[in-house]
Amino acid sequence: MINPPADFLRHRAQRVRRSALALGRRSNGQRIAALEAMAAALERHGGAIVAANTVDQEAAVREGLAAPLLARLKLNGAKLAGCIQGLRQVATLPDPVGHRQLHRELAAGLELERVTVPVGVLGVVFESRPDAVIQIAALAVRSGNGAILKGGREALNTCQAIVTALQEGLAGSAVDPNSLDLLTSREETMALLRLDDLVDLIVPRGSNAFVRTIQDNTRIPVLGHADGVCHLYVDQLVNIDMAVAVALDAKTQYPAACNAIETLLVHRHVARRFLPPAVAAFTAAGVTLRGDEQARALGVPEAATPEDWGHEYLDLILAVRVVEDLEAALEHIRRHGSRHTDVICTDDEAAAARFLGTVDSAGVFHNCSSRFADGFRYGLGAEVGISTQTMPPRGPVGLEGLVTYRYRLRGHGHTVAPFACGEQRFSHRNLLEA
Amino acid sequence: MINPPADFLRHRAQRVRRSALALGRRSNGQRIAALEAMAAALERHGGAIVAANTVDQEAAVREGLAAPLLARLKLNGAKLAGCIQGLRQVATLPDPVGHRQLHRELAAGLELERVTVPVGVLGVVFESRPDAVIQIAALAVRSGNGAILKGGREALNTCQAIVTALQEGLAGSAVDPNSLDLLTSREETMALLRLDDLVDLIVPRGSNAFVRTIQDNTRIPVLGHADGVCHLYVDQLVNIDMAVAVALDAKTQYPAACNAIETLLVHRHVARRFLPPAVAAFTAAGVTLRGDEQARALGVPEAATPEDWGHEYLDLILAVRVVEDLEAALEHIRRHGSRHTDVICTDDEAAAARFLGTVDSAGVFHNCSSRFADGFRYGLGAEVGISTQTMPPRGPVGLEGLVTYRYRLRGHGHTVAPFACGEQRFSHRNLLEA
């Protein structure tokens, strides 16, 4: 009798977990060496990986995959070299493991410490892009975690060639190659979501709807890498040229990104001065503007409907609304925002402070583009994704988001009973860092 | 037409959210004063609260509520005074809000900081104990969060009297009384779990099955306050008297707690010396012992079945197993543990280091009782509960687990485009703390 797929997957996940727990005990140097071995193996197998990608691309063309997806699927020698360079950069990032966050004497001879440790096993489910496999594998091994990866069906050959190379590289290192595994079917993905005793964190990389489907089908914590409805509010006291330049960058520098703005809010006292040059600049950049009545009176060509507020276009479209004042802008963002990143442009420090202290988003910016909301730009080195959840890790998530902590308590036969009856008392004395 | 209950609840949750966002902007002093106002109001309404509790108790007796539940339901004047004292202690804890975790110059004039902020709105669902309302409300307000509370049906009158008093107290403070709300029906609880746009964290306080049911019915992150299957392993090189005393405390000091041990693992080389005095001590303390064959040969009276390993008794029952060596103990814990708290008793520092570095639990202890796994004993001041999840907050969760963080970026018209094309470069210079 053949085991059902779920049992087979459980067996594989157990193998990853066992390897991951060993990986979590490897030293910083051993994990860095493992990343170098992974990079070298990718270089050795570059030809096979690019060839596998060609097979995937040909099949995708035959099946009529849309052009943007085809572009994301493509992995030629140059792009692969960039990925390998990125992997080596992850090796240079500070070790997130083994930081002592707390060191406290609870009572004489009884010492508590809290130390960062790897999460364990990551379940990473992503769309098309095969380069994500390399990035995620690098972040997982660097942070001492195992990873079960599931890429898009259309990238299957590429993903398999990459994971084979990565495992071969790990085989020559102190890290067990079974720390990484690749799933190939949607059925396996659904079964993965049920392994809450073996998988510690699910990282979905895809659309908002994709993330919600995963959240609805698992008890495992999900790092919510969702889309964003970002706002830019232009306050009454503002340098018009600066505000136009920041708004333009925030919309057009890469409109398909989750940190591009979708709605422009303009204080009514500045609308008459701001909107005409802004409309000209946006129109020249090919942006379609949809405004409320007051915005249309000042040159915005199309009319916005209620559905435009809070809508994520991910395209060269921008909703524009003239608001009564700062408070009305805050209320609009509270109602329609997605708590990703929101921007105020103003020369009024009090207005900026009110905005930065009130807007309940992972990123709140003053006089700069929302497009800075990014792990690389924040200086985190690399990112797993951007989380719009409230609980940490929040915003751009780097290596630090892939570790948890553990309490260690060392005593000399200490029991609770004498503390419970008042015979002994806790000292709770924080100890200096070594 | 009357609105369906779900709409009515959504309206109430919106009111809590709005109040909570304002509460989150209150100063440390204002939140401390609000706690004092809550304490004073509980003192003023002590008579009404105790009277309401008498009504609940009488109804519970009529309905035949089990004795332990009746005991937990009871709230007399002395117990209430203790709760009020606890509330005032929470006021003295360090403010978890407003800590700058990161301060970095990204480029000239572009400064990033990461600051702790309240989570927003907590949804807290708990069983019987009405005193939990006071504790949770104190922690919520202290950390700048709103809270929607749902207690057990049998404690309804008491909970209502408490929340009415707390709200009256808040009415005289800078904190909006609507920051706290009380749900009264199971239907409202299920609807609450669906308000993922208004509620940021669910804190269930109850059995493991209760927590899982909640996890299965919500997209909102759940602070997994689950039960624990804690192990104590007695290594071969050990002070027998110390190990017996620690094991006895870990099992009997309060057997119904999740941090009491459920399984005792004994190295085969020490079993002959350790088990006879341990069996005598446990038997004298009224503990039923269930052992494997080797343990029974050394005096453990009852036989353990495979179901005993990994079972949480929460009672004066203890499973006992003789293991080959430390590695066998680690393997047993890996298979049967719940990653709560596990203990090694040994005089061998290398064995202790291996155990503390390998066991994948929120707490790993050396030569002390598992019963120390507790927020008060750790010096956290107060706890929301103990989380057995992997992601932070993990283990005993204090105020720090009720805050998240926000990135604030301040520029002078900075756009991403010149950085993307290489015209400008990031400095990523960490700035000194003020």
Write the pLDDT tens digit of every residue in A274-324: 999 999 999 999 999 999 999 999 999 999 999 999 999 989 999 999 999
- CA-nearest of A195, A193, A197, A247 to A216 is A193
A94 at the B interface (CB within 8 A)?
Answer: no
Helix (H, G, I), strand (E, B) or coil at A190: helix
Cα separation, B207 vs B428, in Å, equals 47
B210 at the A interface (CB within 8 A)?
Answer: no
- Within 8 A of A371 by CB-CB distance, chain B residues are 415-416
Answer yes or no: are the C-beta atoms of A170 and A161 closer than 8 Å.
no
Quick one: B284 exposed, middle or buried, by C-beta within 10 A (0-12, 13-18, 19+)?
exposed
**What is the complex's ipTM, to 2 decimals?**
0.91
Instruction: Give how far B402 is from chain A: nearest CA, Å.
Output: 9
* pLDDT in the model for residue B2: 45
* pLDDT in the model for residue B1: 40
Contacts with A381 (C-beta within 8 Å, 6 or more apart), sequence order: A89, A90, A92, A93, A375, A398, A399
Single-letter amino acid code for the residue at B356: L
* Number of residues written out for chain B: 434
Confidence of residue A224 (pLDDT cuts 50, 70, 90): confident
- Within 8 A of B106 by CB-CB distance, chain A residues are 372, 377-379
A240 at the B interface (CB within 8 A)?
Answer: no
Confidence of residue A208 (pLDDT cuts 50, 70, 90): confident
Beta-ladder partners of A205: A126
At residue B12, φ and ψ (nearest 5 deg) are -65, -40
* pLDDT in the model for residue B317: 97
Q: Do B120 and A390 touch (CB under 8 A)?
A: yes
* pLDDT in the model for residue A287: 98
What is the residue whose two structure tokens read 């925002």?
A: A337
Render the burial of A411-426: b for 16+ CB within 10 Å, e for the rest.
Answer: bebbbbbebeeeebeb
B333 at the A interface (CB within 8 A)?
Answer: no
Instruction: Give how far B411 is from chain A: nearest CA, Å.
Output: 5
* pLDDT in the model for residue A206: 77
What is the residue whose two structure tokens read 């990031």?
A: B426
Kindly tell me if the per-residue pLDDT of A2 is higher than 50. Answer: no
Mutate to test the interface with B, among A390, A394, A400, A403 (most CBs of B within 10 A): A390
Q: How many CB pairs under 8 A join A and B?
A: 216
Between residues A31 and B338, the one the model is more confident about: A31
- CA-nearest of B150, B41, B36, B30 to B90 is B36
Cα separation, B136 vs B126, in Å, equals 10
Confidence of residue A49 (pLDDT cuts 50, 70, 90): very high
Write the pLDDT tens digit of every residue in A245-282: 999 999 999 998 889 999 999 999 999 999 999 999 99
- Range 408-427 of A in CB contact (< 8 A) with B: 408-417, 419-420, 426
Q: Cα–Cα distances in Å, from A371 out to A55, A256, A376?
A: 35, 11, 11
Contacts with A42 (C-beta within 8 Å, 6 or more apart), sequence order: A49, A80, A83, A84, A87, A134, A162, A165, A166, A169
Q: Cα–Cα distances in Å, from B216 out to A1, A121, B212?
A: 32, 21, 6
Q: Do B360 and A395 touch (CB under 8 A)?
A: no
Cα separation, A234 vs A261, in Å, equals 13
Contacts with B331 (C-beta within 8 Å, 6 or more apart), sequence order: none
B3 at the A interface (CB within 8 A)?
Answer: no
- Within 8 A of A391 by CB-CB distance, chain B residues are 119, 200-201, 221, 404
At residue B43, φ and ψ (nearest 5 deg) are -65, -45
- CA-nearest of A365, A310, A363 to A333 is A310
Between residues B187 and A122, the one the model is more confident about: A122
Choose among B119, B394, B414: nearest Cβ to A390: B119
Residue of B nearest to A388 (CA): B406
Answer yes or no: are the C-beta atoms of B232 and B245 closer than 8 Å.
no
**pLDDT < 70: residue spans in chain B:** 1-5, 128, 225-226, 432-434
- Mean pLDDT for all residues in chain A: 93
* pLDDT in the model for residue B225: 64
